[in-house]
Structure 1
Amino acid sequence: MNTSNFISDNFLLQSEVAETLYHMYAKDLPIIDYHNHLSAKKIAENEPVKNITEAWLKEDHYKWRGMRANGIDEIYITGQATSHKEKFLKWAETVPYTLRNPLFHWTHLELKRYFNIDELLQPSTAENIYEKANAVLENKTPAQLLEDMKVEVVCTTDDPTDDLVYHTEIANSNFYTKVLPTFRADALFFINKENFKNYLNKLALSVNKEIKSLKDFLDAIDLRIKYFDKQGCRLSDFGVGEALHIIDFNEKEISEIFNKKLEGTELSITEVNKYRSFLFIYLGKKYHEYNWVQQYHLGPIRNNNSRLLEQVGLDAGVDSIGDFPMAEFMSKLFNKLNSTNQLAKTITYNLNPSQNEVFATMMGNFQNSDVPGKMQWGSGWWFLDQKDGMEKQINTLSNMGLLSRFVGMLTDSRSFLSFPRHEYFRRILCNLIAEDVNQGLVPNDIEFLGKMIQDICYYNAVNYFKFN
């Protein structure tokens, strides 16, 4: 491939209206990235990134999957015996074959935005690009990379037992970017796992209090939520990949189920589902009390390749789209919380694209006057955060809800080089709205449409999350 300047000023913008909307209204807005998996430790320590392989390939499951599909040996993907340069060259060997995969666009957007590199990454350009990128990263810290992209807020993903010491360090720094924790509650639900009692011990240590009963457990959760809130947390998250149920229970039953687990007795599926139902409701009410936004990432089927799981460990890049039913779970959970007026602001994300309309219409059932767009159907997630997935999400939300109240894009990333995904979303959004203008489907009122785009890309998030 010999084409240079692939990422032009008007990349993805297919009309003059799209160009106007993007360049005049969307391009220069700051970024609020309200869900990602960045390391607060790395941001706080703020050491130069130094190597593009570390920044790009170390934890990027998207690239791992692409390399595997291209027949690259695992030693060059997750192996420890190869050098940074060898891994990068194998990625460069793969990139030309990612054409029409979002990796092709993301790769070249990131090369352009962070390193001002216009060349297409391929074997013939790989060595030069590797050296150029490393020369830039040698003097770039995580905080500087975030500031370069005008990232005002990032919300990391944190276990309830995390001490958040690095978030505190960042809060006391002079960094441009606020780095706030998110209360990721998954481990609290794993009562059916062998290591649940070990996790309870870890939770007990975090509050300096023994956990010998359900009340002790709930007290510990309350203390951790209070602590997270003081550290600036404004969101919770949940993302277990399996079928979920809300079934009837009473608190006496839940106390007995919890005690059985403490005694080492195996629980039935019904007991596990009752415990989880109780915990969903309990936490949901807490999130409402603290005026947090609760997030539900629903639909993956995880760890499909047991051989790679054993070889690489968790997060090996062998997860995919599941086909679990989700409508009844969401309906019962949100209805129970809403029936006592304790339903927090909520964002749901589906991984199965066949459930787009299911999720979009479910959120519409529980809107009210608390805040515009209280119940959000979130952006295209994971396998759906590419051009086709984003366009389908935007179109479905437009048909089933109010696109103008949407809180916009996020990275869901572990990489400090992933923030051009916000630009990608903004360009796609502007191009879609421009298509409507050009087809006579919406008025050609650039100022009105520009304000709507600015809201979706930035201001709706500012007003919805209310970060200090």
Structure 2
Amino acid sequence: MAFLDDNYLIGNATGKRIFNEIKDLPVIDPHNHANVREIADNACYSDAWQLFAATDHYVWEMLRKRGVPESLITGSEASAEEKFLAMAKVFPEIVGNPVYEWIHLDLKRYFGIDERLSEKTGRKIWNAVNEKLATDAFRPQALLTGPLNVEAMSSTDDPVDLLEDHERANAAFGRQIIRPTWRPDKAMKIFAPGWREYIDRVGKRFNRKISTFSDLIDAMRQSHDYFAEKGCLATDHGLELPLRADYLFEDADRIFRRALAGETLTAAEMDCYMGAFLAEAAALNAEKGWVTQLHLGAVRDVRARLFDALGPDVGGDVSNHYQDFLPALVSFLNRFDSKLKVVLYCLDQGHQATLATLARAFGENVRLGSAWWLCDHPTGMRRQLEYIGAVDVYWNFAGMVSDSRKLLSYGSRFEMFRRVLADVLGSLIEYGQMPEEETMKLAVAMAYAEPKRFWNL
């Protein structure tokens, strides 16, 4: 088996037959961080650095690990070419990490480049990629509807957003490909710096004074309705720890007023407010039949030097397998049992068993999300898929998501997932555990049909 050849990630003949059935299915991507303005503007990408690495903190972390100076990663003084060549110089040294596979998949599949990125090939690849990026075939809209084969995708958006770029992009496509996702974290995270300023923004956006928790929830309902008009079908909530759903509204209101007045809150008070807020958001979702995504476990910005210099979302987040997810999730899932579609994601492999068994216990509407972030690689995907088959039902898997800011990820990450899926299912057939006919139907369902149905896409 050669690097990224036809047998890549698939070690059995049956798996290869399964992959041939699913490899060309359209992409359904219910969760990503797409730059919708970039897609709507549809300008040519300026260069290979912008396309492959300018927004990808996975890449940034690998370059830092190999000693590339920050000035050649996120700095503003170095040119894009200098940054790309610095990446090329150390790229052979990150072999074994999925970043190595993803970027080479992108080069091979979309640019026809089989050479491996290195100091020796860096300038040649830079020139070859840039030459193609200057053509209309490599504009964002052409890539999405052409080689990436994206049928539906959902971005991640703030409740105060007007979503004008979504309208422009979908008008250009002639149909709704990009849907917004309602992510009210800034309103919920009462502990965050700038929370009071954000509440002011909400008030200005909806032309109302917000002085009580009830005022805020009314504004959130107005935003929720606005997103529904724009085709939204899901919300997303980033939580280090799950939140109980049995806090009293009047307690949350008291805490909200204190926080708005600048008073210091206890950890218990913050949990009360945030749990009440999440429950109110979930109730809105239940009314509309939206999916509620809970991304659990990310411990944010642990590297102070990095955060102080560059802010959030630059590669300073980690997992913690000591977190206890169970009590709060039991509270939340019981409150909305059979009333709400819920997808559960975790950052640490150690939490998969808890989430998978909860999904099993709470039935059809609660599903395990794809292997997320630090689990989003062939090893993590394979472990998760094997475990799902043992304790839950494959058919009820929520489906793959790219969770990416990078357009080409809709190709490389989905290909990686579909290959791992084919290998896992093929192995089960060859061990005599599953009949091939039913498994072929299952593979199509997991890769395309069932996520499309579950997410109402």
TM-score (norm. length: structure 1): 0.93
- Aligned-residue offset at 1:194: 4.3
- Aligned-residue offset at 1:441: 2.5
Q: What is the alpha-carbon distance in structure 2 between the residues aligned to residue 428 and residue 247 of structure 1?
A: 36
2:453 pairs with 1:463: yes
- Aligned-residue offset at 1:56: 1.2
Aligned to 1:423: 415
Aligned to 2:441: 451
Are the aligned partners of 1:280 and 1:333 in contact in 2 as well (CA < 8 Å)? no
Aligned to 2:73: 77
Aligned to 2:33: 37
Aligned to 1:163: 162
Are the aligned partners of 1:7 and 1:118 in contact in 2 as well (CA < 8 Å)? no
Aligned to 1:238: 237
Structure-2 change in CA distance of 1:113 and 1:82 (3 Å): same
Superposed counterparts of 1:264-275, under 5 Å: 264-275=262-273
Are the aligned partners of 2:319 and 2:347 in contact in 1 as well (CA < 8 Å)? yes
Q: What is the alpha-carbon distance in structure 1 between the residues aligned to residue 300 and residue 252 of structure 2?
A: 28
Structure-2 change in CA distance of 1:177 and 1:248 (3 Å): closer
- Aligned-residue offset at 1:206: 1.5
Aligned to 1:394: 385
User: What's the secondary structure of 1:348's corresponding residue?
Assistant: strand
Q: Deviations over 1:217-276 (max 9, x none)?
A: 1110100000001100001001133x3442753222222222222222222222212111
Partner amino acid for 2:374? F
Are the aligned partners of 1:346 and 1:375 in contact in 2 as well (CA < 8 Å)? yes
2:377 pairs with 1:375: no
Are the aligned partners of 1:54 and 1:84 in contact in 2 as well (CA < 8 Å)? yes
Aligned to 1:370: none
- Aligned-residue offset at 1:404: 2.3
User: Where has structure 1 moved over 3 Å in runs of 4 or more?
Assistant: none
- Aligned-residue offset at 1:27: 1.2
Q: What is the alpha-carbon distance in structure 2 between the residues aligned to residue 410 and residue 129 of structure 1?
A: 29
Alignment equivalent of 1:322, drawn from 320, 323, 340:
320
Alignment root-mean-square deviation, CA: 1.7
Partner amino acid for 1:425? F
Partner amino acid for 2:378? K
Aligned to 2:220: 221
Structure-2 change in CA distance of 1:121 and 1:161 (3 Å): same
Alignment equivalent of 2:395, drawn from 381, 389, 404:
404
Aligned to 1:196: 195
User: What's the secondary structure of 2:192's corresponding residue?
Assistant: coil
Aligned to 1:98: 94
Aligned to 1:350: 346
Are the aligned partners of 1:143 and 1:176 in contact in 2 as well (CA < 8 Å)? no
Aligned-pair identity in percent equals 30
Partner amino acid for 1:48? C
Q: Deviations over 1:93-139 (max 9, x none)?
A: 22211221111211211111111111111111111111111111112
Are the aligned partners of 1:66 and 1:94 in contact in 2 as well (CA < 8 Å)? no
- Aligned-residue offset at 1:401: 0.6
Are the aligned partners of 1:163 and 1:206 in contact in 2 as well (CA < 8 Å)? no
Alignment equivalent of 2:291, drawn from 290, 293, 299:
293
Aligned to 2:9: 12
User: What's the secondary structure of 2:409's corresponding residue?
Assistant: coil
**How many residue pairs were aligned?**
452
Q: Deviations over 1:178-222 (max 9, x none)?
A: 111001121121223342221111111221112122221111010
Q: What is the alpha-carbon distance in structure 2 between the residues aligned to residue 381 and residue 193 of structure 1?
A: 24
Q: What is the alpha-carbon distance in structure 1 between the residues aligned to residue 179 and residue 440 of structure 2?
A: 29
Are the aligned partners of 1:363 and 1:377 in contact in 2 as well (CA < 8 Å)? yes
Aligned to 1:437: 429
Q: Deviations over 1:403-432 (max 9, x none)?
A: 123232111001011122101110111111
TM-score (norm. length: structure 2): 0.95
